[in-house]
Amino acid sequence: MEQLGIEPTLLGAQVVNFIVILFVLNKLLYKPILAMIEKRKKEIARGLELTESMKAEEEKFLQKQEKAMEKAREEALKIIEEAKKQAKDVEKDVIVDAHTQAQGIIARAKEEAQDIEKAAQSRIRTEAVSLALIMSRRILSSVMSVKDQHAFIAKQTKELRLWADKQPRT
Amino acid sequence: MKSIAHDARGFVEGVVSHLKKSDKGASVGLKVTSLLYKMSAQAKKKRSALVESAIRLSQEEQVQLAGILESVAGHRVSLDCEIKQELIGGLRVIMGDWVMDASIQSQLSEMAQLLEGGTA
């Protein structure tokens, strides 16, 4: 051993040193590092799990959102269709009302026009008759002589006598 | 308008035509008997009658008229004669509530009412 340049004492001491260092390192460095690495691994695994679960949650949420959007779209379409239908109904009602009102207005206007026409005709007729009456009075007054007057009275007296003869005597 | 003018012209012509007929002795206007109704007891009690005419009645006409009224009333009836030019012709006799209006004016008014009613 000595021929090889190795001193057993030194080698022994170095071995002891190495063992001591190995022990110390094992105790003070490797174990904490390994524990830290293990802890880190666990944290990463938990993080990955959390990420996975969040992804799943997000997927669920997206699906729910999609469903809700689809439902909302269907509801909106229904509402739009209903509104269109109601608008058509309202339009029909408005047209019917307008038509009815127009008919009423036309009928009233016709009645008023007829009334005005009748009133005008009546007024003209009255005036014409009044004029004719005046003319007749003038003509008769000028044409009837005193002889005609007495003849007329004689005729009336005769008819009055006939009537009186038929009356019960008191 | 045309019909109204025609009515008015017809009205005048009709009246004049009636008048011409009277010259030939035909009936003038409505018959007196158609204008009369039974004299009421209240009218019969009246001692006087109002007689309206377009001309002054002769004595003979007044006597005849008084005689007729007396025969119906059953007692003497005096006549209050009045001249009313607006009657145009004929007589109007008023005795209480009894009225006999056979004047040409009333006949014209009746014809005018018929025309105004649009029935002529």
HSE-up of A18 (CA within 13 Å, CB side)?
A: 6
Q: Look at residue B89 and tell me whether its pLDDT is greater than 70.
A: yes
Predicted pLDDT at B107: 86
User: CA of A167: which chain B residue's CA is closest?
Assistant: B72
Least confident of A35-39, A75-79, A95-99, B3-7: B3-7
Please, which residues 30-49 of chain A have a Cβ atom closer than 8 Å to chain B?
none
Single-letter amino acid code for the residue at B47: R
pLDDT classification of B99: cutoffs 50, 70, 90: confident
Residue pLDDT, tens place only, B45-87: 788 899 999 999 999 999 999 999 998 888 899 999 999 988 9
pLDDT classification of B23: cutoffs 50, 70, 90: very low
Name the β-bridge partners of B91: B53
Predicted pLDDT at B43: 76
If we measure between CA atoms, which residue out of A124, A144, A147 comes closest to residue B107? A144
Predicted pLDDT at B114: 81
- To the nearest whole angstrom, how far is the Cα of B66 from the nearest Cα of chain A? 10
Q: Look at residue A19 and tell me whether its pLDDT is greater than 90.
A: yes
Higher pLDDT, A57 or B7: A57
User: CA of B67: which chain A residue's CA is closest?
Assistant: A161
Average pLDDT of the residues in A133-158: 88
Average pLDDT of the residues in A44-66: 95
Q: Which residues of B touch A132 (CB under 8 A)?
A: 7-9, 11-12, 112, 115
Alpha-carbon gap, residue B6 to B13, rounded angstroms: 10
Mean pLDDT, all residues of chain A: 91
Enter the ipTM. 0.72
CB B14 within 8 A of CB B67: no
Q: Is A147 on the interface with B (CB under 8 A)?
A: no
Residue pLDDT, tens place only, A43-52: 999 999 999 9
Q: Look at residue A112 and tell me whether its pLDDT is greater than 80.
A: yes
Which tokens is A62 given?
């997206």
CB B50 within 8 A of CB B100: no
User: CA of B12: which chain A residue's CA is closest?
Assistant: A136
Q: Which residues of A touch B62 (CB under 8 A)?
A: none
Average pLDDT of the residues in A122-140: 86
